[in-house]
Amino acid sequence: MVVGAGPSGSACAYWLADAGWDVAVIEKKQFPRDKTCGDGLTPRAVRQLADMGLEGALAGSHRHTGLRSCGWGHVLEMPWPDHPVFPPYGYTITRHDLDEMVAERAQKAGAVVHQHTEALAPLFVDGVQAAPEGAPEGAPEGAPAGAGAGPGAALPECRGVTVRDLTSGETRDVLGRYVVVADGSNSRVGRALGTARRRGYPLGMALRGYYRSERHDDPCIESHLDIRDASGEVVPGYGWIFPLGDGRVNVGVGLLSTEQRWKGVNTSRLMEAFVAGAPKSWGLSEETSCGPPTGGKLPMSLAVGPHTGPNVIVVGDAAGAINPFNGEGIAYGYETGRLAAASLSEALAGDGPAAIARYEERLMESYDDYYRVGRAFVRLISNPTAMHWCVAVGMRSEAFMKELLRIMANLMRPGAPGAAEIGYDALVRIAELMPEQAAALLA
């Protein structure tokens, strides 16, 4: 059973159904449905969609060939880098269209998607809610997961969920041998099972709105690195303008609010200031606005844990899987959903809880090094002096920024002798050898 049919839940359901297993998906919304997002797909996300047989379905969406990065009076246009696995392009597509497409794909592969059905609470074995093993006792939400997301920690066993059919109002219990928690960043089911966010791990807050624009089919997505708060101070984050190719652009601001000093920044004001100061050629104004902006939280770098229980797996935003370098979460939803499906297939084929525990190993193998460096990067740019220095220096060198783009979009080529790969390997080694010193050095 999968709770949530966003990118992570639908991808997990697709790969399980494709492997021949019976899958029920519980989704509280009715597709097509809106979801607050920047609507940007990088080459990593495109690769996952192609693997699910969906690249053809993206053909009508807006394809972008690179990133235009702006800041301190400099503008750099950088094509998506060449890579042996990922394509040199991305797409923009509303979540209204994208999420329905992937949920339908899972359905066609054999998953049963129960829409307009809300998961209310998990069902514990014998009705007893065990505290997650290894998590601090009585830990309030937001407390460090402690051992929480670390090795050895586990969620309790879960028999299924109580759901409410939002059309009839009826409630019933839905049972599953294995339960996948894919209910997004607020993760009601995950929290009820005992997940918590590690304090000190990166957390983003973002707002986005749509505008009509003559530049709606611009070939680049655009990011602005010098967004400022009310006092004029540059904040850690960026503003974006993503052309949708349908007459509109998706405009937003994202702020890393990990450090105490940035918690009080008003993102609505940040958004207003960004829209007012954006290049006039985009034509952003009250007249071209399609409605007030909406926002959400971005838990990053696998900030939420534990990730498994004997028969439970947590994926996507519910596990805090967003990339801390750029706030990208769709690709990581697809990827973690797929990794979960691989472990669940092994569990269902007879390996049981041992296979579920291998999901944690798969996560660590895929992301541990990268996210460790990402956390150091977030600490670095949360310091205004360091942030100012990095961007001001970086924006003067196109070659440097191209390599940085490869790292930030997680498009390094394993074993390749490029500057990005060499620089990244050095950072991983520094962080491995001297974790505390590396953090201090980088920050």
For ligand FAD, the binding residues (CB under 6 A) are: 3-9, 26-29, 35-40, 118-119, 182-184, 188-189, 206-208, 252, 295-296, 298, 316-318, 322, 328-331, 333
> In angstroms, rounded to a whole number, what is the distance separating the alpha carbons of residues 2 and 23?
7
Q: By C-beta, is 88 or 295 nearer to ligand FAD?
A: 295
Query: Hey, what are 300's tokens?
Result: 């990053």
Residue nearest to ligand FAD (CB): 329
If the CB atoms of residues 8 and 308 are measured against ligand FAD, the closer one turns out to be 8
415 Cβ contact partners less than 8 Å away, ≥ 6 residues apart: 421
Distance from the first to the final alpha carbon of the chain: 42
Tell me the closest approach of the beta carbon of residue 140 to ligand FAD, in angstroms. 20
Closest separation between CB of residue 79 and ligand FAD, Å? 19
Minimum distance, C-beta of residue 106 to ligand FAD, in the bound complex (Å): 12
Residue closer to ligand FAD by CB (options 318, 431) is: 318
Q: How far is the CB of 50 from ligand FAD (least distance, A)?
A: 16
- Closer by beta carbon to ligand FAD, 340 or else 427: 340
Q: Give the nearer residue to ligand FAD in terms of CB position, either 18 or 39.
A: 39
Name the residue nearer to ligand FAD (CB basis): 251 or 412.
251
Q: How far is the CB of 360 from ligand FAD (least distance, A)?
A: 17
CA dist., res. 335 & res. 341, Å (int): 10
Minimum gap (Å) between residue 28 Cβ and ligand FAD? 4
Q: How far is the CB of 37 from ligand FAD (least distance, A)?
A: 4
Residue with Cβ nearer ligand FAD (336 or 382):
336
Q: Minimum distance from CB of 182 to ligand FAD (Å)?
A: 5
| Type of residue numbered 369 | D
CB closer to ligand FAD out of 121 and 380: 121
3-state secondary structure the chain: CEECCCHHHHHHHHHHHHCCCCCEEECCCCCCCCCCCCCEECHHHHHHHHHCCCCHHHCCCEEECEEEEEECCEEEEEECCCCCCCCCCEEECCHHHHHHHHHHHHHHCCCEEECCEEEEEEEEHHHCCCCCECCCCCCCCCCCCCCCCCCCCECCCEEEEEEEECCCCCEEEEECCCEEECCCCCCHHHHHHCCEECCCCCEEEEEEEEEECCCCCCCEEEEECCCECCCCCECCEEEEEEECCCCEEEEEEEEECCCHHHHCCCHHHHHHHHHHHCCHHHCCCCCCECCCCEEEEEEECCCEECCEECCEEECHHHHCCECCCCCCCHHHHHHHHHHHHHHHHHHHHHHCHHHHHHHHHHHHHHHHHHHHHHHHHHHHHCCHHHHHHHHHHHCCCHHHHHHHHHHHCCCCCCCCCCHHHHHHHHHHHHHHHCHHHHHHHHC
Smallest separation (angstroms) from ligand FAD to the CB of 361: 21
CB of 103 to ligand FAD, least distance (A): 8
In the complex with ligand FAD, the residue whose CB is nearer, 34 or 82, is 34
Distance CA 197, CA 337 (A): 19
Which one, 206 or 378, has the nearer CB to ligand FAD?
206
What would the two tokens of residue 10 be?
A: 């639908």
Minimum CB distance to ligand FAD, residue 323 (Å): 8
For ligand FAD, give the closer residue by CB, 134 or 324: 324
Between helix 353-381 and helix 330-346 the angle, nearest 10°, is 160
